């Protein structure tokens, strides 16, 4: 797999979530609702013999504004839902690409993230990708 292509294609997949701003790289400014495809946590070569497949785990973070607790929860919840028009999981797992063969959203973790002195509610999805080595 080519890392640049993998990250770009994850970004393309996320564009299925209408209204979500998407960056297939880490950005210094947040304009919610916004998703960023981060550099891999792990990149395992040779998941199968003779360079048959590699295995990458990439975090994808979605940021929403922290206006009030209920609206932030409701906004972020639409992206965390397992299915639906704004579901990150559905967008990633149903996207067709030649950059990787299999995409699986493993889980999601929540946090309050401060960027440039502004707090955001964020959800970081662990995405596992398998593709040709």
Mind listing the pLDDT tens digit for each residue in 65-102? 988 889 999 999 999 999 999 999 999 999 999 999 99
**Domain membership of residue 27 as a residue range:** 3-131
User: What CATH number does the domain containing 31 carry?
Assistant: 3.30.2000.30
Total domains in the fold of the chain: 1
CA separation for the pair 79, 89 (Å, rounded) = 8
DSSP 7-57: HHHHHHHHTTSTT-EEESS--SS--SSEEEEPPPSEEEEEEETTTTEEEEE
pLDDT band at residue 51 using 50, 70 and 90 as cut-offs: confident
Closest CA to 64 of 110, 25, 13: 110
CA separation for the pair 131, 56 (Å, rounded) = 9
Q: What's this model's pTM, rounded to 2 decimal places?
A: 0.93
Strands 34-37 and 21-23 turn out to be parallel
pLDDT at 47 over 80: no
At residue 124, the pLDDT reads 98
CA separation for the pair 59, 126 (Å, rounded) = 5
Residue tagged 């990787």 (tokens) = 100
pLDDT band at residue 10 using 50, 70 and 90 as cut-offs: very high
Mean pLDDT, rounded, of the chain:
94
Q: What is the CA radius of gyration of the chain?
A: 15
């Amino acid at each position: 797999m080519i890392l640049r292509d993998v990250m770009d294609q994850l970004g393309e997949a996320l564009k299925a979530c209408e209204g979500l701003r998407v960056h297939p790289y880490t950005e210094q400014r947040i304009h919610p609702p916004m998703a960023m495809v981060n550099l891999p946590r792990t990149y395992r070569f040779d998941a199968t013999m003779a360079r048959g497949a590699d295995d990458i785990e990439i975090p994808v973070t979605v940021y929403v504004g922290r206006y009030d607790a209920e609206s932030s929860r409701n906004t972020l919840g639409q992206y965390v839902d397992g299915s639906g028009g704004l579901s990150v999981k559905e967008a990633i797992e149903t996207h067709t690409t030649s950059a990787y063969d299999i995409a699986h959203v493993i889980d999601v973790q929540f946090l309050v993230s401060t960027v440039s002195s502004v707090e955001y509610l964020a959800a970081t999805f662990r995405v596992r990708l398998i593709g040709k080595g």
